Amino acid sequence: MSHKLLYIVIIIGLIYFFYNSYSKSKKANNIIKKGAQVVDVRTPQEFNTGHFEGSVNIPLNTIENSIDKIKSFNKDIVVVCASGMRSGKANEILNSKGITSVNGGSWSNLK
């Protein structure tokens, strides 16, 4: 593969990544405006270094044991983490348990 083609592939990948991140945060922000609860699935240590105001910290490794707590919010859920990977996994788990949630990606992209 030539260097020129490699650069084009990298640029397209970066555009896709940033567009996907923007899309997630835009959708999440719209749902938050309607009263959704933000659930941050990072570790408590990460959460304590900064988090979205009003979010609750339920680490990914405890999400399955916290289903009743999450259901008790009686709201749509936006799950966030540092990059969108853990929140994506948490979103899959919540949706499989009948909880309406969306992957908000990185907590720092929320407004």
State yes or no: is 15 an active-site residue.
no
Catalytic residue, from 36, 39, 78, 81: name it. Answer: 81
- What b-and-e string marks burial along 20-30, b requiring 16 or more CB atoms within 10 Å of the CB? eeeebbeebee
For the chain, what's the residue count?
111
Where are the alpha helices (H) located in 54-110, listed in sequence order?
Answer: 67-71, 85-96
CB atoms within 10 A of CB 104: 31
Question: Are β-strands 37-40 and 56-57 bridged in parallel, bridged antiparallel, or unpaired?
Answer: parallel
Active site residues: 81
